[in-house]
């Protein structure tokens, strides 16, 4: 098992990518601690992991609150003795045209998606420095590379996560801490399943592989970065995007 004996925190672990990653990490031998405001969902994931013979716990944590983040990290370390991996995955979005984008939503999205990542990674890194190393993984997005309409707050936050990841990687390498980001494209989640058929078709046309990704595919990328297989990888953003960024802005060429 690739994560045997590792202690892992996953934020936003109740649903989607976070849930899939929690289940996969537990299968690979990790003890998983979930931090999420969706406490019922997080508790359900814990129950599923424990039912399969794994170890997990969960707590309600607002990642934008430094006190709550630090208290959760302290609780995990007190209970399990160390922290090996932080997967800062929690995120939200608000859709509106730039000219009508509310300041309150701008603040809310950046608080969770950028400040929250900063706080979680900083608290984890301080512990990892004490113990001599660890892994930090952040969830960015292809939106951090593209000016996607109607999502200015989300785009800016994810671009910030990419640069935060690079800065942490440079500063923390001397402490044996590797830091990398994952940048998913269109992933099949509860949210994207509600897209109108035409919107889904347009998005799919821009993906060279011709489909949305699965949450399990993102989880496997996170597993690689958390494992010893990525021992000499730091400061990078791994796009899990079906070729979207490589393909440019227009529709993919016809097959055949």
Structure tokens at 225: 């970065």
Mean per-residue pLDDT, 72-92: 98
The pLDDT assigned to 145 comes to 94
Mean per-residue pLDDT, 146-151: 90
The pLDDT assigned to 248 comes to 61
User: Distances from the Cα of 95 to the Cαs of 37, 88, 132, 228, in angstroms?
Assistant: 21, 22, 42, 38
191-236 pLDDT, tens digit per residue, is: 778 778 888 898 898 899 999 999 999 999 999 999 999 999 999 9
Q: Which of 80, 101, 154, 232 is catalytic?
A: 154
Q: How far apart are CA 80 and CA 74, in angstroms?
A: 10
Is the domain 7-239 a CATH 3.40.50.720 member? yes
Q: Is 154 a catalytic residue?
A: yes
Closest CA to 146 of 222, 18, 247: 247
Percent of the chain topping pLDDT 70: 96
The pLDDT assigned to 153 comes to 97
Q: How far apart are CA 126 and CA 8, in angstroms?
A: 15
Which residues make Cβ contacts (< 8 Å) with residue 75, sequence separation at least 6?
59
Closest CA to 185 of 162, 203, 163: 203
The pLDDT assigned to 195 comes to 77
Bridge partners of 169, per DSSP, are none
Mean per-residue pLDDT, 8-31: 98
Range from 57-71, 103-117, 240-254 carrying the lowest mean pLDDT: 240-254
C-beta of residue 100 within 8 angstroms of C-beta of residue 145: no
* Cβ neighbours around 43 below 10 Å, total: 18
- Note the residue count of the chain: 256
Average pLDDT, the chain: 95
The pLDDT assigned to 155 comes to 97
C-beta of residue 181 within 8 angstroms of C-beta of residue 139: yes
Mean per-residue pLDDT, 51-71: 98
- Phi-psi region at 38: left, alpha or beta (left = phi > 0; alpha = psi -120 to 50): beta
The per-residue DSSP string of 142-205 comes to: GGGTS--TT-HHHHHHHHHHHHHHHHHHHHHGGGTEEEEEEEE-SEE-TTGGGS-HHHHHHHHH
Closest CA to 20 of 56, 45, 50, 52: 45
Domain boundaries, the chain: 7-239
Q: Which residue has the higher pLDDT, 251 or 51?
A: 51
């Amino acid at each position: 098992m690739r994560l045997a004996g590792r202690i892992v925190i996953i934020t936003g672990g109740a649903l989607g990518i976070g849930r899939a990653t929690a289940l996969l990490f537990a299968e690979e031998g990790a003890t998983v601690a979930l931090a999420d405001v969706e406490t019922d969902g997080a508790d359900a994931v814990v129950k599923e992991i424990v039912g399969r013979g794994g170890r997990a716990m969960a707590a309600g944590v607002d990642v934008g609150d430094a006190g709550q983040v630090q208290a959760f990290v302290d609780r995990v370390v007190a209970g399990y003795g160390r922290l090996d991996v932080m997967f800062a995955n929690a995120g939200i979005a608000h859709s509106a045209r730039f000219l009508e984008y509310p300041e309150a939503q701008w603040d809310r999205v950046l608080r969770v998606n950028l400040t929250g990542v900063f706080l979680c990674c900083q608290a984890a890194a301080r512990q990892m420095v004490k113990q001599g190393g660890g892994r930090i993984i952040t969830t960015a997005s292809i939106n951090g590379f593209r000016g996607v309409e109607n999502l200015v707050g989300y785009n800016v936050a994810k671009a910030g996560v990419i640069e935060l990841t690079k800065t942490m990687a440079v500063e923390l390498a001397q402490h044996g801490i590797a830091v990398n980001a994952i940048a998913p494209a269109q992933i099949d989640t509860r949210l994207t399943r509600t897209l109108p058929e035409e919107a889904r078709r347009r998005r799919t046309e821009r993906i060279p592989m011709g489909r949305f990704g699965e949450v399990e595919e993102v989880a496997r990328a996170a597993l690689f970065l958390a494992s010893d297989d990525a021992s000499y990888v730091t400061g990078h953003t791994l796009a899990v995007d079906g070729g979207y960024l490589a393909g440019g802005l227009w529709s993919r060429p016809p097959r055949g």
